[in-house]
Amino acid sequence: ASEQARLRAEVVAEDTELWQQDSSLTGLERVGGLDLSYPKGDDASACASLVVLSFPALEVLYEDCRMVAVSTPYVPGFLAFREVPFLVEALQRLEQEKPELKPQVLLVDGNGLLHPRGFGVACHLGVLTDLPCIGVAKNLLQVDGLVRDELHREQVHSLQKRGDTFPLMGTSGTVLGMVSHGDCNKSSKPLYVSVGHRVCLETAVRLVTSCCRYRIPEPIRQ
């Protein structure tokens, strides 16, 4: 927990890049997507995936997918310690093999500041790589009083079109993330977007929406 707190202090929750200042994200050319997924019934091995897409065309420029042996036990709230090293390794391989394809921002399947101690996998990965990073989760993490109650379901239901959002305000009064409708059709399942590192929430949501052809943003879907 002390290691987590030390890294947490390094999170920058605001825009730091030139391309983030332009509403059409001009200057952004490469977006990375990362995920660690486990085969059913096996939590000792996982597939670590890194994909780099062009932006705004969203064409695959690079992919790296390999099976890894996961030995660190899962502790709730500390998942990143189990998963992030493999994602960092994938980025290091990219830097060695194709440095010109290094992504300018990362989308990771998971949460950033929307986390029991404000330091989810997207923050962890962002701080360790010093790259802008955004957490995109498929389910609501119930922290700081956030619950999937009737009100939440009504708010989700009110998201009618692509780009519609509403903020996730915890009982502490802090906005921890944004619920976003990324899809072109009305599939009622939203995305939970949160800041990882070196990006503000508004820019994070704008980028995630720009990367959506279907419900899941392309860098993560690929």
Per-residue pLDDT, 175 = 93
Per-residue pLDDT, 90 = 97
Torsions phi, psi of 7, nearest 5? -70, -35
User: Using one digit for the tens of pLDDT, what is the confidence trace for 121-150?
Assistant: 999 999 999 999 999 999 988 888 998 888
Per-residue pLDDT, 114 = 95
Per-residue pLDDT, 187 = 58
- Helices (H) and strands (E) counted in the chain, each on its own, are 6, 8
Per-residue pLDDT, 141 = 84
CA distances to 7, 61, 79, 194 from 121, rounded to whole Å, are: 12, 24, 7, 11
Q: Which CATH number fits domain 1-220: 3.50.50.60, 3.40.50.10800, 3.30.2170.10, 2.160.10.10?
A: 3.30.2170.10
Per-residue pLDDT, 185 = 59
Spell out, as residue ranges, where the chain has pLDDT lower than 50.
Answer: none
Mean of per-residue pLDDT scores for the chain: 92
pTM of the predicted protein model:
0.94
Which residue reads 């997507």 in tokens? 33
Domain ranges (residues) in the chain: 1-220
**Terminal CA-CA length for the chain:** 33
Burial of 144 from C-beta contacts in 10 A (0-12 / 13-18 / 19+): middle
Q: Give the Cα separation of 134 and 112 in Å (integer).
A: 7
Per-residue pLDDT, 164 = 86
